[in-house]
């Protein structure tokens, strides 16, 4: 039990906990089934999803990366699983529906190959002894041989190699044993093997699956002074060149006291959040880094990246809900993939007004400033004016009701003269006086 605590504690800085995106036609025959959409089974006190049993195989390590709490020079309790213990624990949790699968990472014990062999042994136990069919995410062990990597890849659903720091200089300073090349090489290898296996099994009936959930990576935000632009363009390059499924960002939390590391206590959570928003724009909204950010700029903490882009491109707005193509709907701040799809579906039947948008449960808080329905704004006071929209978006909660009230007042004042004064009406009904 203590062992589990130590090894989960050491694994907690890995941001990835997704269990999605893996489709296998192959079945190991026992319990378990990966779901396409993934599934979170609990949320830890920091609000993050717990989907997988995220542990290190061991937190003994021969490396001395300054940002890592498992570095050899750090004095912390050390522990190690055996493959038998870990696989039994994983099955025990899985059958009770606590977890969706296993996330296995490890410190380097003895040598990279020795560590990789232990991981491979655990995976073999799970897949062949327990016939476990659930999700398994394995961290690539830097420096392990490609033969082992390949064997692990055939048993895992996803693999990841952490790029850790966005720049070569940062790596040199904080992780002397790692170079950009040593990280990118296994990434390239995994990518090549995925394509190779996919192509070779196109014609085969019983398909082989090499890392069917794709690969992901992670970098630390705020440990070095790389700009958001740099981080984001690196992210985009990783998606394009290495066909990664995800790039995770993790706000730097001080775990070491190396002079090269920043000393502030608060992890840059807002910055991490904005980067994730931008990451989503890259992956699902058809944006490019150059559209989101100018060179070497940072993301605006006040406005989300999409609103920011829209503010810079006001000439493209307002967007007519009933006519705009899907790609343009996606670019409206406040309209996401779900809502854009709903709009496209519903407008096939009839043209939409703002009342209809509300029925589709499209959130208009931000979108209202950027769209028209049949040529009309939601409120006639809206205009395509930079400072008006900017102040509305940054204090949106204060702004919208004020405008609403103004509208409602003017509406009633137009008809005031037509209605009898309320007091008079009441007396006539009651019949007094």
Binding stretches for another protein (CB under 8 A): 1, 4-6, 8-9, 11-13, 30-33, 35, 39-50, 53-55, 89, 92-93, 95-98, 133-134, 251, 253, 265-267, 269, 342, 345-346, 348-350, 352, 355-356, 359-361
Return the residue matching tokens 């949320």: 43
Is the CB of residue 154 less than 8 Å from the CB of residue 146?
Answer: no
Is the CB of residue 292 less than 8 Å from the CB of residue 320?
Answer: no
Q: Compute the radius of gyration of the chain from its Cα atoms.
A: 27
Picking from 162, 1, 138, the residue whose alpha carbon sits closest to that of residue 67 is 162
Least distance to another protein, CB of residue 30, Å? 6
Nearer to another protein, 97 or 397 (CB): 97
Least distance to another protein, CB of residue 364, Å? 14
The count of C-alpha atoms lying within 13 angstroms of the C-alpha of 16, restricted to the half-sphere facing its C-beta, is 28
Nearer to another protein, 53 or 175 (CB): 53
Nearer to another protein, 9 or 291 (CB): 9
Least distance to another protein, CB of residue 347, Å? 9
What's the CA gap between 188 and 181, in Å, rounded?
A: 10
Least distance to another protein, CB of residue 306, Å? 22
What's the CA gap between 367 and 386, in Å, rounded?
A: 15
Nearer to another protein, 158 or 342 (CB): 342
Least distance to another protein, CB of residue 84, Å? 16
What's the CA gap between 228 and 300, in Å, rounded?
A: 10
Nearer to another protein, 82 or 167 (CB): 82
Nearer to another protein, 230 or 347 (CB): 347
Which DSSP symbol is given to 277? H
Return the residue matching tokens 């009406």: 425
Determine the longest span between alpha carbons in the chain, in angstroms. 101
What's the CA gap between 370 and 310, in Å, rounded?
A: 9
Q: Hey, is 390 helix, strand or coil?
A: helix
Least distance to another protein, CB of residue 296, Å? 28
Nearer to another protein, 374 or 408 (CB): 374
Angle value at C-alpha 167, between 285 and 237, nearest 5 degrees: 30
User: Tokens for 185?
Assistant: 């090489």
Q: Which alpha helices (DSSP H) does 227-288 contain, by range? A: 228-242, 269-284
Least distance to another protein, CB of residue 430, Å? 31
Least distance to another protein, CB of residue 113, Å? 29
Residue 396, CA distances (Å) to 361, 388, 391, 400 in order: 19, 11, 8, 6
9 membership: H or E segment, kind and range:
helix 2-11
Bridge-based pairing state of the strands 49-50 and 52-56:
unpaired
Nearer to another protein, 205 or 361 (CB): 361
Least distance to another protein, CB of residue 130, Å? 10
Nearer to another protein, 44 or 200 (CB): 44
């Amino acid at each position: 039990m203590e062992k589990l605590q130590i090894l989960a504690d050491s694994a907690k800085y890995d941001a990835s906990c997704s269990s999605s995106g893996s489709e296998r036609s192959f079945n190991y025959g026992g319990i378990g089934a990966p779901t396409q959409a993934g599934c979170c089974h609990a949320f830890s006190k920091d609000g993050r999803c717990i989907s997988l049993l995220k542990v290190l195989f061991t937190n003994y390590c021969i490396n001395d990366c300054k940002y890592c709490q498992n570095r050899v020079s750090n004095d912390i309790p050390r522990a190690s699983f055996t493959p038998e213990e870990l696989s039994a624990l994983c099955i025990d949790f899985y059958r009770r529906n606590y977890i969706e699968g296993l996330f296995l990472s490890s410190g380097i014990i003895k040598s990279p190959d020795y560590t990789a062999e232990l991981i491979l042994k655990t995976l073999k136990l799970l897949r062949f002894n327990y016939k476990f069919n659930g999700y398994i995410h394995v961290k690539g062990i830097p420096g392990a041989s490609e033969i082992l990597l390949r064997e692990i890849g055939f048993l895992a659903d996803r693999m990841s190699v952490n790029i850790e720091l966005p720049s070569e200089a940062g790596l040199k300073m904080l992780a002397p044993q790692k170079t950009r090349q040593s990280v990118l090489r296994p990434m390239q290898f995994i990518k090549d093997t995925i394509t190779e296996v996919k192509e070779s099994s196109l014609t085969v009936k019983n398909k082989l699956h090499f890392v069917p959930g794709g690969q992901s990576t992670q970098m630390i935000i705020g440990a070095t002074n790389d700009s958001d632009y740099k981080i984001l363009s690196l992210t985009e390059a990783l998606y394009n060149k290495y066909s990664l499924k995800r790039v995770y960002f993790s706000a730097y939390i001080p775990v070491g006291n190396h002079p090269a590391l920043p000393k502030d206590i608060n992890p840059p959570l807002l910055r991490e959040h904005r980067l994730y928003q931008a990451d989503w724009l890259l992956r699902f909204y058809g944006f490019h880094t150059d559209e989101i950010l100018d060179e070497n700029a940072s993301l605006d903490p006040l406005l989300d990246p999409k609103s920011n882009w829209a503010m810079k491109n006001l000439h493209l707005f307002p967007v007519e809900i009933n006519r705009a193509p899907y790609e343009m709907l996606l670019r409206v701040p406040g309209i996401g993939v779900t809502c854009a799809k709903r709009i496209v579906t519903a407008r096939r039947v009839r043209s939409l007004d703002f009342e209809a948008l509300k029925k589709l449960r499209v959130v208009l808080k931000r979108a209202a400033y950027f769209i028209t329905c049949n040529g009309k704004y939601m409120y006639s006071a809206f205009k395509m004016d930079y400072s008006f929209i900017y102040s509305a978006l940054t204090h949106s909660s204060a702004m919208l009701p004020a405008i609403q009230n103004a509208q409602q007042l003017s509406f009633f004042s137009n008809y005031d003269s037509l209605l009898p004064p309320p007091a008079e009406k009441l007396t006539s009904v009651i019949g007094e006086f």
